[in-house]
């Protein structure tokens, strides 16, 4: 037993000191940690607990649900319903949010992805949970539109990564901090205070099998990274793709990098793969609080006004200078400033000039 270590509870008491509703927010984040511990135990047991594999069901996104998707969702929902701190619960795995009865209602709304990257579960690769906390309306029933607030309004956000160790990484708007689960004792211990993402990097993460579906500015950026020292970047890059956003963002918080799931034309009905409310907004807050930047390619993610709870969005996040460069490439494409990579509209115009 190590004495004098900062537990999550002690950290939250200190971090939230003087903040309005501090006790309730700290208590809710401790509830999040309780659900995370339950999910961590299930994922760690894997096949021994009979939790691997898929169900017959699909979620609202049309994805086949894994057993652990549903079990993780239940772990969060039960914890929040019993905790008395939320008025509404929205999950990527549920068609509609749950409204908590008025006699059990608390001051917050929670929005979460209970098990992100769950296609990795059956192959024993890291997965995670992502959460976001908003203030609930006062003195009335929660309406679906109450969830549709920009990422700037998040009171807290974070994720848990179930890897070789389980970590909880969160922000209450005063920096991003990481806690490691001490399994024997059952406590989250502050191990990574004040995480900072370096502004520059030579590592990128993108699913390159989609390359032909990307927009030209993304093709341009990746082509330059791949050309490395032989082209304008003047340095070689490395590529990673875990297919688990949580693990990808965690690596970026630990050593920098850029993660992209950009707009593509693979399925024209979807403007991106990732979900604004369950993935992009909470990860955007975590990344920006660590000094990084999160963009759609055409603007800051946290400034987007949501239209639907299950809305999808392009996501480009990580080391600030790289994300800003990618935004610039989008702008040059949209305005025709770069003839090699400008939109067809501008190419046509220049032909006739
Ligand atoms: O649905 C989210 C997600 O699983 C992310 O965690 C991950 O980054 C991405 O999808 C993986 O996508 P793909 O299957 O294209 O590699």
pLDDT digits (tens, 9 = 90+) for 222-243: 999 999 999 999 999 999 999 9
In this structure, the residue with its CA closest to atom 4 of ligand 1 is: 117
pTM to 2 decimal places:
0.94
- With a 6 A CB cut-off, is 178 part of the ligand 1 pocket? no
349 pLDDT above the threshold of 60: no
Q: Which long-range contacts (CB under 8 A, 24 or more apart) does 225-230 make?
A: none
- With a 6 A CB cut-off, is 97 part of the ligand 1 pocket? no
Q: CB atoms < 10 A from the CB of 75, how many?
A: 23
Q: For ligand 1, pick from 113, 208, 261 the residue to mutate: most ligand atoms within 8 Å of CB.
A: 261
- With a 6 A CB cut-off, is 125 part of the ligand 1 pocket? no
- Return the bridge partners of 132, or none: 111, 157
**DSSP-based three-state secondary structure for 224:** helix
Q: For ligand 1, pick from 58, 119, 208 the residue to mutate: most ligand atoms within 8 Å of CB.
A: 119
**How far is residue 334's CA from residue 221's CA, in Å, rounded to a whole number?**
15
Atom of ligand 1 nearest to the CA of 261: 8
- With a 6 A CB cut-off, is 41 part of the ligand 1 pocket? no
- With a 6 A CB cut-off, is 117 part of the ligand 1 pocket? yes
In this structure, the residue with its CA closest to atom 13 of ligand 1 is: 243
- With a 6 A CB cut-off, is 322 part of the ligand 1 pocket? no
Residue pair 59/93 in contact (Cβ under 8 Å)? The answer is yes
**How far is residue 86's CA from residue 99's CA, in Å, rounded to a whole number?**
9
Distance 255 CA to ligand 1 centre (A): 21
Helices (H) and strands (E) counted in the chain, each on its own, are 8, 17
Cα atoms found within 13 Å of the Cα of residue 36, Cβ hemisphere only:
35
pLDDT digits (tens, 9 = 90+) for 193-224: 999 999 999 999 999 999 999 999 999 999 99
**How far is residue 2's CA from residue 134's CA, in Å, rounded to a whole number?**
35
pLDDT digits (tens, 9 = 90+) for 315-342: 999 999 999 999 999 999 999 887 676 6
Give the closest residue to 314 by CA, choosing from 251, 265, 256, 250.
Answer: 265
Q: Please compute Rg for the chain using Cα positions.
A: 21
Residue 346: pLDDT band with limits 50, 70, 90: low
**How far is residue 53's CA from residue 60's CA, in Å, rounded to a whole number?**
19
């Amino acid at each position: 037993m190590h004495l004098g270590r900062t537990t999550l509870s002690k950290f939250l008491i200190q971090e939230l000191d003087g903040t309005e509703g501090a006790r309730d927010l700290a208590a809710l984040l401790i509830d999040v940690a309780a659900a995370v511990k339950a999910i961590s135990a299930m994922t760690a047991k894997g096949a021994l607990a009979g939790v691997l594999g898929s169900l017959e069901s699909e979620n609202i996104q049309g994805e086949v649900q894994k057993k652990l998707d549903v079990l993780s969702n239940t772990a969060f929902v039960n914890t929040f319903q019993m905790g008395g701190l939320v008025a509404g619960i929205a999950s990527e795995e549920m068609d509609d949010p749950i409204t908590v009865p008025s006699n059990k209602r608390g001051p917050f709304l929670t929005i979460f992805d209970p098990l992100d990257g769950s296609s990795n579960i059956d192959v024993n690769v890291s997965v995670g949970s992502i959460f976001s906390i908003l203030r609930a309306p006062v003195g009335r029933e929660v309406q679906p539109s109450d969830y549709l607030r920009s990422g700037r309004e998040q009171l807290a956000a974070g994720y848990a990564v179930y890897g070789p160790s389980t970590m909880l990484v969160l922000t209450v708007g005063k920096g991003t901090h990481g806690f490691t689960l001490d399994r024997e004792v059952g406590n989250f211990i502050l191990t990574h205070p004040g995480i900072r993402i370096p502004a520059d990097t030579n590592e990128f993460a993108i699913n390159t099998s989609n390359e032909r579906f990307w927009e030209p500015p993304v093709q341009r950026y990746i082509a330059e990274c791949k050309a490395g020292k032989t082209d304008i970047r003047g340095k070689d890059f490395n590529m990673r793709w875990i297919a688990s956003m949580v693990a990808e963002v965690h690596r970026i918080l630990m050593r920098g990098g850029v993660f992209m799931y950009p707009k593509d034309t693979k399925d024209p009905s979807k403007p991106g793969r990732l979900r604004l409310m369950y993935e992009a907004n909470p990860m955007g807050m975590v990344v920006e609080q660590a000094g990084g930047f999160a963009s759609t390619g055409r603007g800051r993610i946290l400034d987007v006004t949501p239209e639907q709870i299950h809305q999808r969005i392009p996501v480009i996040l990580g080391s600030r200078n790289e994300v800003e460069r990618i935004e610039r490439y989008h702008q040059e494409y949209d305005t025709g400033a770069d003839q090699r990579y400008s939109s067809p509209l501008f190419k046509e115009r220049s032909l006739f000039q």
